Structure 1
Amino acid sequence: MRDLYLIGGAVRFVSQATVGPVAFGSAGNPGEVSIRADLAFIAVGAVSVEQGWSTSNLGEAAMMSDMIARAAKVAVLADSSKFDRQLFARIAPLEAVDYLVTERAPEGELAEALAVAGVEIVAP
């Protein structure tokens, strides 16, 4: 049996995302309580060759970037409307992610860049 944690704390209703710290303190240990994940699922607002993975909110970008660094594997969830777009806050370069889960595989330059970055496309 596994436990499931939703990292964050505050829910941004506009984006339906939780935003908050990935590091935690405790009463007995005021320093950081380190966490790690076998697999992190990250939903992004955009993916492009130039910027990599991005979102429109700085808090989301910081949290996602931190979670990517703490995960053994990372799966990005992004539908095809997010392809070839760039948003305000960069989360990570393409090669920081292991899987792209989407309803339709990207084409052209983005598909080539994802292949070079070692991102496996998971699509029906």
Structure 2
Amino acid sequence: MAELLPAQRHRHIVGEVERQGQVRVAELAAQLSVSEMTVRRDLTFLAGDGILIKVHGGAMKEGSTTSSEPGFATKLGLQTGEKERIAARAAGLVHPGMSLALNSGTTTFALAHHCTSIDDLTVVTNSPRIAQVFYDADNASQTVVLTGGVRTPSDALVGPIALGAVAQLHVDLYIMGVHGMTAEHGFTTPNMQEAHVNREFLRAAGRTAVVADHAKWGVTGLCTIAPLDAVDTVVTDERLPRAAVEHLENTVGEVLIAAPEKASDTPTGSEA
């Protein structure tokens, strides 16, 4: 694309911040075909005018905080292509006869659709939407356990009832969606009660994996769920910056990159 004038870049950046809530420097640089240094200068200018708030690695909408929690429907329309490819890749970790735990999230929701044909699964989840995916598939060989609890904006069931249910369980594999992941703060969520349930799932699992698209890197939620080295596998997409991949490879037992999108595929939008 032709080089844009600063005012044109600023309009694009503001539009992305309004649409997503949070944006990453690397993503904006790719969209605008400019250097990351140029994007950082643009963010500094816009932050100086009070239009957005600069954060580590990007910016967020004025008024957004680490405790901001987008609703499930909002997140469902973001990074759809990446989430679908990550889900398909993560489904390879799931085998017949397993006990599988899935937390609430749009990537784990996509993953659920890939697991409905796997026989003899016992699925434990704190997501009514994920439970419904398995119920609708009507695979008689599968058992679905839905924890009780109080519903959050991201459609997770949390609180003492959810914690009590998970505390009694031992599962073969827990696959967790997250709000953000950073080298400094690990895997995070904006909801403290979800963090408690996610930690309990981690404790209950023999093996653990995180599914997170590239836009989650550098994003920090209010509460840390666990450090990066607390999980065995991270499944992500090919747009995660190489430096982030290398850091994950040095801290996590295994990093799986979902197959890149084919040139003929329809491009998808960006996320927070």
Instruction: Give the TM-score band, short-chain normalised.
Output: 0.7 to 0.9
Change over 3 Å in CA distance of 1:33–1:103 after alignment to 2: closer
Greater helix percent: which structure?
2
Deviation at residue 63 of structure 1 after TM alignment:
0.6
- Deviation sequence 1:20-67 (CA, Å, 0-9, x none): 42333xxxxxxx962111100111000000000000000011110111
1:18 aligns with 2:137: no
* 2:178 match: 44
Displacement over 3 Å in runs of 4+: none
* 2:222 match: 88
User: Does structure 1 conserve the Cα–Cα contact (< 8 Å) formed by 2:215 and 2:240?
Assistant: no
Higher deviation after alignment, 88-97 or 103-112: 103-112
Change over 3 Å in CA distance of 1:105–1:75 after alignment to 2: farther
Choose 1 or 2 for highest CA Rg.
2
How many residues are matched?
116
- Deviation sequence 1:89-120 (CA, Å, 0-9, x none): 00000011111122335324422221111342
Change over 3 Å in CA distance of 1:11–1:101 after alignment to 2: farther
* 1:68 match: 202
CA distance in 2, matches of 1:5, 1:101: 20
- TM superposition score normalised by structure 2: 0.39
* 1:3 match: 122
User: Does structure 2 conserve the Cα–Cα contact (< 8 Å) formed by 1:23 and 1:34?
Assistant: yes
User: Does structure 1 conserve the Cα–Cα contact (< 8 Å) formed by 2:163 and 2:196?
Assistant: no
Deviation at residue 88 of structure 1 after TM alignment:
0.4
> Structure 1: any 5+ residue segments left out of the alignment?
25-31
User: Does structure 1 conserve the Cα–Cα contact (< 8 Å) formed by 2:169 and 2:204?
Assistant: yes
- TM superposition score normalised by structure 1: 0.80
The share of aligned pairs that are identical, in percent, is 28
Say what the alpha-carbon RMSD is for the aligned residues.
2.1
> Structure 2: any 5+ residue segments left out of the alignment?
1-119, 127-146, 260-272
**SS of structure 2 residue aligned to 1:67:** helix
Residue type of the alignment partner of 1:3: T
Q: Which has the higher contact order (CA 8 A, sep 6+)?
A: 1
User: Does structure 2 conserve the Cα–Cα contact (< 8 Å) formed by 1:44 and 1:78?
Assistant: yes
**SS of structure 1 residue aligned to 2:246:** helix
User: Does structure 1 conserve the Cα–Cα contact (< 8 Å) formed by 2:187 and 2:227?
Assistant: yes
Greater strand percent: which structure?
1
Change over 3 Å in CA distance of 1:17–1:78 after alignment to 2: farther
Change over 3 Å in CA distance of 1:33–1:82 after alignment to 2: closer
CA distance in 1, matches of 2:122, 2:204: 17
